[in-house]
Amino acid sequence: MMSTFSSKENFVNTFKVAVAETYGRDFEDTKSVERYLVLGHLIRDYAGINWKETKNAIKKSQTKQLYYFSMEFLMGRLLTNNLMNLGIYDVVKDGLDELGMNINEIEEVESDAGLGNGGLGRLAACFMDSLASLNLAGNGNCIRYRYGLFKQKIENFQQVELPDCWLKYGNVWEVWKPQHEVKVKFGGKVDAYMDYNGKFHMKYEPDFVVRAVPYDEPIIGYHTKTTNTLRLWDAQVDENSVKPGQLGQYLSDVSALTANVYPDDSTLDGKRLRLKQEYFFVCAGINQIIESHLRVYPSLDNLAEKVAIQLNDTHPVLVIPELMRVLMDDYNYDWDPAWNIVTHTVAYTNHTVMAEALEKWPQDMMRDLLPRVYMIIEEIERRFHYEVDHRNMGYLFNSVSILKDNQVHMAHLAIVGSHSVNGVAKIHSEILVNDVMSSFAALYPDRFNNKTNGITHRRWLLYSNPQLTDLLIDTIGDGFIKHPSELSKLMDYVDDPILQNRFMEVKRERKAILAKYVKDTLNIDVDVDSIFDCQAKRLHAYKRQLLNVFHIMHLYLRMKKDPNFRIYPRTFFFSAKAAPSYALAKEIIKLINMVAEKVNNDPEISRYIKVVFIPNYSVSVAEVLMNAADVSEQISTAGKEASGTGNMKYMMNGALTLGTLDGANVEIVEQVGYENAQIFGLHVEDINELKKENSYNAWNLYNQDANIREVIESLKNNTWANDPNAFQLIYNDLMLRNDEFFVLADFEAYIYAQSLVQRMYEDRSRWARMMLINIAKSGYFSSDRTIQEYADQIWGLTPIPFEN
Ligand SMILES: *Cc1c(COP(=O)(O)O)cnc(C)c1O
């Protein structure tokens, strides 16, 4: 068969004809967008061959499959990734060259699929890539949001939110599957009745019904046939479900359901719609699983042997009562066998220990919106209560109840209904077992485990940093591409001055690419030979962007006061979105931008410090930022960051981790050694002690420490803004609410750690060696390792056996 991509000539001919046919005009008269769309469709169709074979092979071999339920998938762009994984990047690049086009220009047309808030959604995307690349049958299940999170603009130093219209040109990767629609029902009432045999049945009369219609995207593995599916559900009108006189209301309710990603991953807002979204994609996903299972197997008795469901955080926890509902109401299972199937199928990943971020729903809201599901949750609680009592552990009940204080505790429901509960980094899993979920750990000690997060080294090293990839292949061969643990071979060369120099050249090249991006988009000049110091992540008090900007403020004030104090030139990069309702976070963005304005325009200081806030943090921004970093800022309050994955992306591209002992930073230092990272600040134990003794007092630090006092005073004395109240929320949070996240407590340690970073950087050979060691040790953080652990230890998944 002559395939489109078998040679440059075939590609050029097919592509030109396809563009001309699609748009009914000569190829030369078409625009980049049109060419991008046609190219995307050609690639998707090409992937369709393996997609079909994957489905057939799974069916034929009866291979167990995973369904990854996640409210978020932060996929980013897919063109480069798909071309590279298919092994046809060069054919397409050369073909486009021949047609007088640069492939980068086409790549830039694609919108980021930003269907998520941050780390949790990006983890789901990395996992999809690893599953397919390891030949594991893994399906993603989510919502087809019409708008991504939001597009961030900075106006007047402040965040402005604009709609993220990622579907502006459609989505070339998706295939609409209207034949697989599922009806999802909300509200109304439930009646129970008894049949001839005395068995109870449920009759449900909903008051709101929508059709869930799937759009499937192929997830293409690296140099393999395996092509998995990411299924995104759209909500569409059900003609027969409109109540008389309510057409307008009905249409807008349906439309609202999939309008956008809930923009807030921390606070309690817009609740009801969010709960509707959760049930919507859970119900649709479960229905699809059941139907495809019954197409291959005679009954659902073996569901747990053939299907694993992973819940990415608590957002999809309704899977547990929903699967119970389907088994009992639709397939006549009794409670115990149904519960056995559910708990052996479902596993749960916890992503946070912060009390305010643990998901809870008002019982009334849940009962109103999902009456049958709520009944089942009550019964789960009743039986769980009985079990705990029966085991004489009733004293635990207050801390493990699912229904408590008129709320449904989703994490508790998740733990009770799963066979596995995992944290996402060692320290986080320990905190779960020893602290936050200790009562559950006493009840179910074998249920808890750790799966340290990872990132796909394909996107975050091979594709976004081809310069470094080439150097690595040149030095250690290409084995690390399939087996990232082989990056450790680099350890034999870290002292080689020639490699060190070549590496520093590569780093400089990446820094120049970032500098150009900053010049083009923000018109700021940055010095490529300065230290690139980067903090890019969601804006949260616990992530402590404030500590970072306070250090910059301190350096500025000190240099202004003391002409003999000068630092090695440094460029501080920030990129962060704040939840639209999170006023404190927004004020921190304003502070960063006002400090940037002041510093960058001070001719005395701007030779030493530049501050750059890159708007609209997204996967595409991360792809140019991370690999240009010298310093990776991972400075959360110890105990608060579950894992972090940004830290791994920087490490894999050589940056030094400047961090607290938190999340996966702990394992990064374990890999590279304390001499190849810069660790500072309070430990979890210190913070627990301060809290227990109630002995932390921000005012004491303010009174004792002149550096702290000057920085705090500068918030109010018009140093940065012409308004003493401009940073009132920040001031109040630190000084009147006693600095919940210990920013001031870690301030001096951080300043000192930063001075050590500078000293290390000034020894060029030592710095290069250290960066190379970071790369050499980063193989552990490939999500291929993480997924292999999930597959072996939780899912029981083996590779799809392809014939031939
Ligand atoms: C990796 C990544 C994150 C997670 O970053 P953390 O530093 O771990 O919080 C968030 N957003 C995007 C776009 C990312 O690529």
Residue 228 CA to residue 55 CA, distance in Å, equals: 8
Q: Does residue 537 line the site of ligand 1, with CB under 6 A?
A: yes
> Do 62-76+112-451 and 458-679+745-786 share a fold?
yes
Catalytic residue among 372, 458, 459, 538: 538
Q: Please tell me the residue having the least CA distance from ligand 1 atom 5.
A: 646
Q: Is the distance from the beta carbon of residue 321 to the nearest atom of ligand 1 less than 6 Å?
A: no
Pocket of ligand 1, candidates 72, 74, 126, 617: which has the most ligand atoms within 8 Å of its Cβ, to mutate?
74
**Phi then psi for 340, rounded to 5 degrees?**
-60, -45
646 Cβ below 6 A of ligand 1: yes
Whether the predicted pLDDT of 147 surpasses 80 = yes
Our answer on whether the CB atom of 119 is closer than 6 Å to any ligand 1 atom is: yes
Residue 266 pLDDT more than 70? no
Q: Is 538 a catalytic residue?
A: yes
Which residues is 407 bridged to in the sheet?
A: 362, 404
pLDDT of residue 271: 82
Inform me whether the pLDDT recorded for 125 exceeds 60.
yes
Q: Residues 231, 511, 543, 590: which is the catalytic one?
A: 543
Give me the pLDDT at residue 200, please. Answer: 81
Q: Round to whole Å and give the CA distance between 361 and 339.
A: 23
Is ligand 1 within 6 A of the CB of residue 95?
no
Which protein residue's CA is at the shortest distance from atom 9 of ligand 1?
537
- Number of Cβ atoms within 10 Å of the Cβ of 270: 13
Confirm or reject: Cβ of 729 under 6 Å from ligand 1: no
Q: Is the pLDDT of residue 267 over 80?
A: no
Residue nearest to atom 8 of ligand 1 (CA): 644
Q: State whether the beta carbon of 459 lies less than 6 angstroms from ligand 1.
A: no
In 366-382, which positions are buried (b, 16+ CB within 10 angstroms) versus exposed (e)?
A: bbbbbbbbbbbbbebbe
Atom of ligand 1 nearest to the CA of 536: 7
Band (pLDDT 50/70/90 cuts) for residue 263 is: low
Predicted pLDDT at 264:
63
CA of 30 to the centre of ligand 1 (A): 36
Domain topology for 62-76+112-451: Rossmann fold (3.40.50)
Closest residue to atom 15 of ligand 1, CA basis: 619
> How confident is the model at residue 190, as a pLDDT?
95
Instruction: Assess whether 168 carries a catalytic annotation.
Output: no
Q: Is the CB of 122 under 6 A from ligand 1?
A: yes
Indicate whether residue 114 lines ligand 1 (CB < 6 A).
Answer: no
Instruction: Name which residue sits closest to atom 3 of ligand 1, judged by CA.
Output: 119
For residue 194, which phi and psi values (nearest 5 degrees)? Answer: -110, 140
Q: Which residue has the tokens 């996640």?
A: 70
For residue 164, what pLDDT is reported?
A: 97
Distance, in Å, from the CA atom of 727 to the CA atom of 553, rounded to the nearest integer, reads 14
Report how far ligand 1's centroid is from the alpha carbon of 641 (Å): 12
| Catalytic hit among 77, 649, 769, 777 | 649
Among left, alpha and beta (phi > 0; psi -120 to 50; other), residue 741 is alpha
The rounded Å distance from CA 548 to ligand 1 centre is 17
Cα gap 271→363, rounded to integer Å: 12
β-strand pairing of 656-659 with 678-679: parallel
pLDDT of residue 625 exceeding 80: yes
Q: What is the mean pLDDT of residues 414-432?
A: 98
Q: Which DSSP letter does residue 177 get?
A: -
Look-up of token digits 């980067």: 534
Predicted confidence band at 265 (pLDDT cuts at 50, 70, 90)?
Answer: low
CA–centroid distance, 543 to ligand 1, in Å, is 12
Indicate the CATH number for domain 458-679+745-786.
3.40.50.2000
93, 510, 537, 577: which one is catalytic? Answer: 537
Give one DSSP letter per residue of 222-287, joined into a string. Answer: TTSS-EEEEEEEEEE--GGGPPTT-HHHHHHHHHHHTSB--S-SSS--SHHHHHHHHHHHHHHHHH
pLDDT band at 355 (very low <50, low <70, confident <90, very high): confident
Q: Which residue out of 457, 459, 538, 650 has the highest number of ligand 1 atoms within 8 Å of its CB and is therefore the one to mutate?
A: 538
- Locate the ligand 1 atom nearest the alpha carbon of residue 645 and give its number: 8
Relative to the CA of 617, which ligand 1 atom is closest? 13
* Confidence class for position 270, pLDDT limits 50, 70, 90: low
Structure-token match 């970032």, residue found: 514
Q: How sure is the predictor about 522, in pLDDT bands with cuts at 50, 70 and 90?
A: very high
Pick from 72, 111, 645 the residue to mutate for probing ligand 1's pocket: most ligand atoms within 8 Å of its CB. 645
Residue whose Cα lies nearest atom 10 of ligand 1: it is 118
Pick the atom of ligand 1 nearest to 543's CA.
Answer: 9
Asked if residue 318 has its Cβ within 6 Å of ligand 1, the reply is: no
Residue 438 CB partners (closer than 8 Å, separation 6+): none
356 — pLDDT class (breaks 50, 70, 90) = confident
Q: How far is the CA of 618 from the centre of ligand 1 (A)?
A: 8
For residue 43 the two structure tokens come to 């690639």
Instruction: Classify burial at 95, counting beta carbons within 10 Å of its beta carbon; exposed 0-12, middle 13-18, buried 19 or more.
Output: buried
Give the pLDDT band of residue 325 (cuts 50, 70, 90): very high
Instruction: Give the amino acid at 263.
Output: P
Chain segment 308-318, per-residue pLDDT in tens: 999 999 999 99
575 CA to centre of ligand 1 in angstroms: 10
Q: Which residue has the tokens 């936050």?
A: 436
**Residue 544 Cβ contacting ligand 1 at under 6 Å:** no
Burial of 76 (0-12, 13-18, 19+ CB in 10 A): buried
The domain segmentation of the chain, as residue ranges, is 62-76+112-451, 458-679+745-786
- With beta carbons less than 8 A apart as the criterion, state whether 618 and 112 touch: yes
- Answer for the pair 745, 466: CB distance below 8 angstroms, yes or no: no
Distances (CA, A) of 582 to 94, 149, 202, 589, 612: 47, 15, 43, 11, 22
Mean pLDDT value across residues 769-785: 98
Model pLDDT, residue 507: 98
- Ligand 1 centroid–CA 122 distance in Å is 7
115 Cβ closer than 6 Å to some ligand 1 atom: no
Q: How far apart are CA 350 and CA 247, in angstroms?
A: 40
* Predicted pLDDT at 757: 98
Q: Which atom of ligand 1 is nearest to the CA of 119?
A: 4
pLDDT reported for residue 3: 85
Q: Is the pLDDT of residue 269 over 60?
A: no
Can you give the pLDDT at residue 192? 87
The yes-or-no verdict on residue 402 having pLDDT over 90 is yes
Percent above pLDDT 90 for the chain:
95
Average pLDDT taken over every residue of the chain: 96
Largest CA distance in the chain: 94
pTM of whole model > 0.85? Answer: yes
Q: If you measure from the C-alpha of residue 639 to the centroid of ligand 1, how many angstroms do you get, rounded to a whole number?
A: 18
What is the reported pLDDT for 57? 98
Quick check: CB of 618 below 6 Å from ligand 1? yes
Q: Is 659 in the pocket of ligand 1 (CB under 6 A)?
A: no
pLDDT at 371: 97
CB 483 within 8 A of CB 518: no
- Looking at residue 202, its pLDDT comes to 85
What separation in Å is there between the alpha carbon of 119 and the centre of ligand 1?
4
Residue at token pair 């009432």:
189
Encoding tokens for residue 548? 């970072």
Active-site residue, selected from the candidate residues 351, 412, 458, 777: 351
Among left, alpha and beta (phi > 0; psi -120 to 50; other), residue 162 is beta
Residues 356-375: what's their mean pLDDT?
A: 94
Measured at the CA of 40, the angle between CA 38 and CA 43, to 5 degrees, comes to: 110
**Residue 752: pLDDT over 60:** yes
The finding on whether 76 has its CB within 6 A of some atom of ligand 1 is no
Look at 252-261, 470-479, 501-510, 662-671 and tell me which has the smallest mean pLDDT. 252-261
Distance CA 766, CA 497 (A): 10
Q: What is the pLDDT of residue 179?
A: 95
Ligand 1 mean position to 649 CA, how many Å? 9
Place of tokens 């490699």: 499
Q: Work out whether the CA dihedral 122, 127, 133, 139 comes out positive or negative.
A: negative
Query: Which DSSP state fits 462?
Result: I
